Structure 1
Amino acid sequence: MARSGVQYEDVQRAIDTLLQRQETPSVQKVREVLGTGSFTTISDHLREWRARRETNRDLPPTQALPEALQSAMSELWASAQESAHQALSHYREEADRRVAEAQEMAGQARREAEDAAQRESALAEQLHRAQARLEELGALASRVEAERDQAREAEQRLRQERESRQAELAQLRERLETREAAHQQALAEQAAAHRQQLAQEEQRHEAAESRLMALLDEARQQRQADDKQHRERQQRLEARLSRLESQLEEQRGLAAEAEKARQEAQQQADRAGQQQQAEAQARRVGEERLEALLDARGSENAALRGQLEVLQGELAALQARLAERPLPPFVC
C-alpha cells in the first residue's frame, strides 16, 4: 500500500517534468525529482501512470477547443497517432524491457527499503536511548555542578573556620606562653625561697650542732666525777645528734630531689609547643611532687625544730643542775 506521504498526483507531476526534459521516467528519477518517498510507493504510482497512459492511448485530447481548431487537431491527432504508433513500437519494447528491469530494481529496492526501515527503526531506538542517556547525563551534570558549588561553599566555610581556629590557637598559645613564663617565674621564686630557707635551716642546724658539741665538751671537762651518768647522757645526746645528722642528710637529699623535680618540670615545660597535654600533666605532677616535697620538708623541719627545742631544754636543765653542783678540780 502506498504511503500517505507521496500521492499519485505528485508522481504524475514528477513524470511530466521528466518528459519535458525528454527523459524516460523511472523510480529513481521520479524520486530524485520529488526528493522524498519510498521506492515501493513511487513504483506503485509509476505502474498506475503507465496503466492509465496505456488505457488512454487512443483517446483524443479532452480540452475544449474551437470547432475549426478541433477538426484540424483531430486530423493532426490521427496523423500523430499513426506516427506515434510506428515510432513508439520501438519505445514500447524498450519500455517493457526497462519496466522489467525497473520491477526487478523495485523488488531489490523494496528489500533494501525494508532493510533500511529496520535499520531506521534500530537507529531510532538507539537515538531514543542516546537521547534518554543524554538527558540523564545532563541531569547528572546539573547535580554534579550543584554539588561542586556546594563543595566550594563548604570549602570556603572550612577555610574561614580554619583561619578563625588558627587565630584562636595563636591567642591561646600567646596566653599559654604568658602563663608559662609567670609559672616559671613563680617556680624560680619558690625554688630560690626554698634554697634560702634550706640554707638558713642548715646554718641553724650547724650552729645548734656547734653549740651542742661545745656544751658537751664543757660538760665532760666539768663533770668528770659523774662520768658514768654524763656518759650515758652524752651517748643519748650523741645518738640524737646522729639521728639529727641523718635527718639533715635526708633533708639535703630531699632538697636535691626537689631541685631535680624542678629541673624535670622545667624540661617538661620546655616541650610545651609539641605536647601541651603531656606538659600540663607533667607540670601538675612536678608541682604536686614539689609541693609534696616542700610539705614533707616543712613537716620534717618542724619535727627537727621540735627535737632541737627538746634537746636544748634538756641541755638547759643539765646546765642548771651542773650549776647547782660544785665543779670538780681541773685535772690536766
Structure 2
Amino acid sequence: MGRIAAHTQEQVFEAADKLAVEGQEVTPTALREVLGRGSFSTLGKHIEAWLRMRQAAPTPVILEMPEIVKVAFAQCWQAAAAEAGKEIAAIREKADAEIKGVKRRLDEALSEVERLEEEANVDAARMETTNSELAATQVAATGAAAREAALLATVEQMRQQVDAQQIELARVHGEVEAVRNQHTAEAARLADQLKDQKTRCVDLEAGLTATRKGEREAAAQLGRAQGELDALRTQVASLNDIVRSLAAQDDKKGKKAQL
C-alpha cells in the first residue's frame, strides 16, 4: 500500500511562492521548514513542477512611460524598451541556463535522496525483522530457562527420594541383621536342646539295656523307656521341623535384603 502524500501540490506551490517572494532559495529543506514535514524526493518533484510553471508563465516586465515625457521621448522610449527587451532576453537566457544547471543538480540530489530513502526503508524493514527475531529469541531463551529450572527441581526431588530410600534401605538391613542374629541364636539354642535330647535318648537306651536282666522289671522298665523314647523322638522331629522352618525364613529374608 503506497504512502499518503503529506501535502498537496497546491500547498507546496504556495509555500514555494512565499519563499520566492521573501527572496529565499526554494529547496526541499526550505519547504520542509515552511510545511513542517514532507519527503525530500516528493518535495523535489513539486519544486521541478513549480519551476516549469514559472517558466511557462513568466512575469511580464512593464516599463511605464510618464505622461509628461510620453510624446517627447516616444522614439527614445521605444529604443530604450527594445534595448531593455534585449537585456531581458539575455538575462532570461542566462537564467534559463542557470535553472537548467540547478535542475540538473537538483535531479542528481533527488536521485541520491530517493536512493538514501530506499536504503533507509530497507534498513527499517531489516531492523523490524531483527527486532522480531530478537523477541522470538528472548521468548525461546525464557522458555529454555523455565524448562531448565523445572529439570533442576525434578533432579533435586529425585535426589531427595534416593537419599530417603537409602536411609530406609539401611534401616531394613539393620532389622534383617537383627532378625538373622536372633534366628541364629534360636537355632543354636534348639541345636543344643536337640543334642541334650539325643544324649538323654542314648542314656535311656543304655539304661533299658541294663535293666533287661530282670524279666518283669526289665519289661516294665523297657515299656516306660520305649514310651519316653517315642515322645522324645516326636519332640526331636518337631524341633527339627522348627529349625528347618527358621532356617528357610532366614534364607528368604536374606535374599529379599540383597534385592
TM normalised by structure 1 equals 0.42
Larger relative contact order (C-alpha < 8 A, sep ≥ 6)? Answer: 2
Moved over 6 A (4+): 77-83, 254-261
1:56-97: CA deviations, max 9, x gaps? 12365xxxxxx99xxxxxxxx999967754544442332333
Change (3 A) 1:129 1:33: closer
Residue pair 1:43, 1:106 contacting (<8 A) in 2 also: no
Contact 2:12 2:31 in 1 (8 A): no
Q: What secondary structure does 1:7 align onto?
A: helix
Unaligned runs of 5+ in 1: 61-66, 69-76, 224-243, 272-277, 279-332
Tell me: CA distance 1:185–1:43, structure 2 relative to 1, closer, same or farther (3 Å): closer
> For the residues of structure 1 that align with 2:130 and 2:195, how far apart are their CA atoms?
95
Higher Cα radius of gyration: 1
Partner of 1:30: 27
2:157 match: 162
Deviations 1:24-66 (A, max 9, x none): x7xxx63454354533321221122234335x12365xxxxxx
The question of whether the paired residues in 1 share the 8 Å contact of 2:13 and 2:50 is answered with: yes
CA contact (8 A) 1:3 1:41 kept: no
Q: 1:182 & 1:39 partners in 2: Cα distance?
A: 99
Aligned to 1:307: none
Task: Structure 2: give runs of 5+ residues left out of the alignment.
Answer: 1-6, 33-39, 69-76, 216-232
Report what 1:64 is aligned to.
none
The Cα shift of 1:193 comes to 2.2
Aligned match for 2:14, one of 3, 9, 12: 9
1:39·1:106 contact (CA, 8 Å) conserved in 2? Answer: no
Partner of 1:199: 192
- 2:62 match: 58
Instruction: Say yes or no: does 1:187 pair with 2:180.
Output: yes
| Pairs aligned (count) | 216
* Alignment partner, residue 114 of structure 2: 116
Alpha-carbon contact 1:31-1:39 (below 8 Å) kept: yes
Contact 2:28 2:44 in 1 (8 A): yes
Local SS of the residue matching 2:57: helix
CA distance in 2, matches of 1:40, 1:178: 94
What is the aligned-residue RMSD (CA, Å)?
A: 5.8
Q: Distance in 1 between matches of 2:169 and 2:243?
A: 29
Q: Partner letter of residue 114 of structure 2?
A: A
Distance in 2, Cα, partners of 1:30 & 1:53: 20
Q: CA deviation at 1:191?
A: 2.4
Provide, for residues 238-258 of structure 1, a one-character-per-residue CA deviation record: whole Å limited to 9, x for no partner.
Answer: xxxxxx9xx99xx6xx96997
Give % identity: 14
CA–CA distance in structure 1, aligned partners of residues 207 and 10 of structure 2:
144
Distance 1:186 1:111 in 2: 102
Q: Tell me the CA shift for residue 180 of structure 1.
A: 4.8
